[in-house]
Structures are given as C-alpha cells and as structure tokens.
Amino acid sequence: MHNRRNMLKYMGAGLALSASLAFPAISHAADMPGVTDTEIKLGNISPYSGPASAYSTIAKTIAAYFNKVNEEGGINGRKINFLSYDDGYSPPKAVEQARKLVESDEVLLIFQSLGTPSNSAIEKYMNMKKVPQLLVATGATKFGNPKEAPWTMGWQPNYQSEGIIYGRWINSEMPDAKIAVMYQNDDFGKDVLAGLKTGLGDKADMIVAEASYEVAEPVVDSQVVKLKASGADVFINIATPKFAAQAIKKAHEIGWDATQIVANVSTSVAAVLTPAGLEASTGVISTGYLKDMQDPQWADDPAKKDWEAFMDKYFPDGNKASNFTVYGYSVAQTMVHILEQAGDDLTRENVLKQAASMKDVTLPLFLPGMSMNTSETDYFPIEQMQLMKFDGERWVNFGDVISGEVGG
C-alpha cells in the first residue's frame, strides 16, 4: 500500500517534470507547423490523372526546381519537402487532399493548387484553418479577395486584368473601333469581358456585338458569322484553345478582316494557331508576361541559359517547348523569394505577410519591365502584361508593358 502510494507520487512528479520540459518544445512546434530546423514542408494539389493531366507538368517543374534549391543548400539551411498530390481535377478529391496535407502531413502552406474548381472547393476550408493557399494556379479574379479570403492569393495575371489591358490598348490605339466579342460562358469568359468594359471606361459602347458559347457546344461557327454581320472591325476572341482555333479559322474563311485579339490562355502556337492555320493566324494580337523560350530574340539571354541548364540537369524529361515549364520555373522562384523574405520566422502569419508585401520583385523569365507588387489590399501579384502579335511564325512583343491593375 505504502509502496504503491509512493510510486504514484513519483509518477506524478515525473509527469509534471516531463510536461514542464515538453511544453516549450510543443508550443514552439505549434507556432511553425511544417517547419523544423532542417525542413520546410509545402503542399500542392495537381491533376496528375484525369482530363486536365497535361497541367501536371507545372508541378513536376516546381518539384525539379525545389530539388535544385535543396542541392544548393536550401533556404536558410532548410530543405524544401514538396508534397504534391493528385486530385484528378475533381473538387471533392481536392478537398480530401487538402485535408490530408493540412491535418495529416501538417504542411506550412499549400502552394500552386491547380484549377478554378479545385481552388474554389478548398478556399473556405483553408481560410477557416488559417493555412495559406498561396500563388494558386488559376486566373479567376475571385482568388484575390483579401477581405473575404485573406489566406488565399493568386499569382498569374487574373482574367479581369487581361481584359482591362485590351480595353486600355484599344482605347488609346483605335478610339473609333467597333468591337465584337465572343466569350466562353463561364467565370473565365465573363471575367475577361468585365475587365474589357472596365478598360474601355466610358467608351464601353464601342462594343457593338457580344456572343457567348457553352463549353459543351461542338463548334462556334454561328457565333463568328453573327458577329461579322454586326460590322465590327475588332474581333475579341475570349476562348479556350479548341474554340479559339475554330473562331480564327472561321473568321478567315468568311473573309472577315477585323483586327483579332485572342485571350492569353489560347496563345499556344502548336495547340491553337497551327490548327487554325498559320496564314489565318497571322496578325492576331494577344498578351504575354513570360518570355517565350522559342523566340530567337532571347537566344543570348543569360536567363534563358540558366533555365536551359536547369531543365537539362533537373528535369531532362520535361518538354522545353511547353509554356508550362517556364511557368512552373517562375512560380517556384516566387515561392522561394517569399520564404527567403520570411527568414527564420516561418509562421503561417509571417509567410502570408511576406507574400502580401512584395515590392517590385522581378523574375529572370519575366518580359523586361515587368514586376510583381502586392499589399494587404492587393492580392494580385502580376497585373502587367505586354501586347504581342503573331507574325506567321512566332509571337513578337510590341509596345510598352501595360498595367491592368484591378480598380487602379
């Protein structure tokens, strides 16, 4: 009896001691989830399978870039542990993977989760958990709303900015134009159209015709014919690659010689302009923000040589002709920049704060003159783009870098 009571006493003392020892360590770890003295855990969700699996090249490029960073010593001595899971472009699966990353793997943040539906699905959860959802891979304007979703931030120029840029350019270069717009009837098409009207300002009545199409429709020929009949001399083609190609081809076939603008998502020479016909595509205008690695004007650019060396050493299977590798390389550099800025204070709050205080940050593969700026009220890192024109073989940049700041 006496013995047992003693034992209990010792056990109690032992527990109290171990608790007092353990507590500081626990509270320290709780402050910086996903971070140890040697490692930073970053989560990612990408479609490695399913209809959008072509996009997984971006995550593969990012993983390769983080390998390079780790081999060169990491970030302040910490290696990046990049956990990338497959959601097959399915929102319920994205929720499952986000919860796995946050609750089971305990990552510092989720970075570059891909696709508007998947990011919409996890946005509420991430903000409730106060886990940063940084530099998401979609241009939907809704992912830049610090008031309602302070933990969610985009990266690439949002669709609305792109529309604003077209509007401003038309306003200054062709003030007497009559504009016809074809747009995809979803958030992408409507965002660009809304931006275009903002960019035109009080001259929004320059738009003489609008026609929308559903993704489920097989062809958009009738829309193009209808728009031509409006007598417009500028044709704005806000479409995803398949439909953009159809529209360019049809406009050429019916002899509509309007100035054509095609959305930035459909500027691939291989996937859009070649199927539409290179002759039909000559003279088409669009916007860009990253250097086109196929463009001979960058042949001697040191940034291009760095990128090529990276691709050869860390991602030899990657396709150098794909824009996705340039995109992944640049967005990974942005993440590294944010983590470096955060220094040793790698709490979720501080990382978010650093992401929201980028000032004139430029990346090697940005077009000259471009930079990223964010603030607590501005969650759109890239809002500038430069116009470019297709000369029958490649895109040629022209004019100045134009800002498409939303509300600015």
Partner 1 sequence: MSVNTTTTADSQAPAKQGVSLPAPAAATGNVKIMRTAGAILLAIGVAAPFLSGNFLIFQLTMMMIYAIAILGLNILTGFNGQFSLGHGAFYAVGAYTAAIMMDQFGIGYLWTLPIAGIVCFVVGFLFGLPALRLDGVYLALATFALAVVTPQLFKLTPFEHWTSGVMGIVISKPDAPFGLPLNPDQWLYFLTFAIGLLAYVCARNLVGSRTGRALMAIRDNPIAARSMGVNTALFKSLAFGVSALYTGVAGALGAIVVQYISPDSFHFALSVALVVGLVVGGVGWLPGALFGGAFIMFVPNIAEELSKGLSGAVYGVIMILMMYAIPTGLGGLLKAALGALSKRSTTR
* Alpha-helix runs per DSSP H in 201-238: 221-229
Among 216, 279, 316, 360, binds partner 1 (CB under 8 A): 216
Residue 192 and residue 217 in contact, taking contact as beta carbons nearer than 8 Å: no
Binders of partner 1 among 48-67, rule CB under 8 A?
A: 48-51, 56
Coil, helix or strand for 59? helix
Give the nearer residue to partner 1 in terms of CB position, either 62 or 165: 62
Among 124, 130, 305, 313, binds partner 1 (CB under 8 A): 124
Q: What are the φ and ψ backbone dihedral angles of 77, each rounded to 5 degrees?
A: 85, -5
Give the nearer residue to partner 1 in terms of CB position, either 3 or 104: 104
Least distance from partner 1 to the Cβ atom of residue 112, Å: 16
Window of 120-128, 231-239, 307-315, 392-400 that interacts with partner 1 by CB under 8 A: 120-128
Least distance from partner 1 to the Cβ atom of residue 195, Å: 17
Euclidean distance between CA atoms 112 and 119, whole angstroms: 9
Give the nearer residue to partner 1 in terms of CB position, either 75 or 101: 101
H-helix or E-strand spanning residue 210: strand 207-213
Give the nearer residue to partner 1 in terms of CB position, either 51 or 407: 51
Give the nearer residue to partner 1 in terms of CB position, either 190 or 228: 190
Among 3, 20, 104, 377, binds partner 1 (CB under 8 A): 104
And the tokens for 235? 């044709």
Q: Which amino acid is at 376?
A: E
Residue 115 and residue 138 in contact, taking contact as beta carbons nearer than 8 Å: yes
Q: Does 233 bind partner 1 (CB under 8 A)?
A: no
Binders of partner 1 among 81-100, rule CB under 8 A?
A: 84-86, 88-92, 95-96, 99-100
- Give the residue carrying structure tokens 């929102």: 91
And the tokens for 126? 């991430």
CA-closest candidate to residue 93, choices 35, 52, 135, 149: 52
Binders of partner 1 among 365-404, rule CB under 8 A?
A: none
Q: Does 160 bind partner 1 (CB under 8 A)?
A: no
Least distance from partner 1 to the Cβ atom of residue 241, Å: 17
If phi over 0 gives left and psi between -120 and 50 gives alpha, with beta otherwise, what is residue 360? left
CB proximity list for 294: less than 8 A, separation 6 or greater: 269, 321, 394
Q: Does 187 bind partner 1 (CB under 8 A)?
A: yes
And the tokens for 274? 């070649």
Give contact residues for partner 1 (rule: CB under 8 A): 48-51, 56, 84-86, 88-92, 95-96, 99-100, 103-104, 116-117, 120-125, 185-187, 214-216
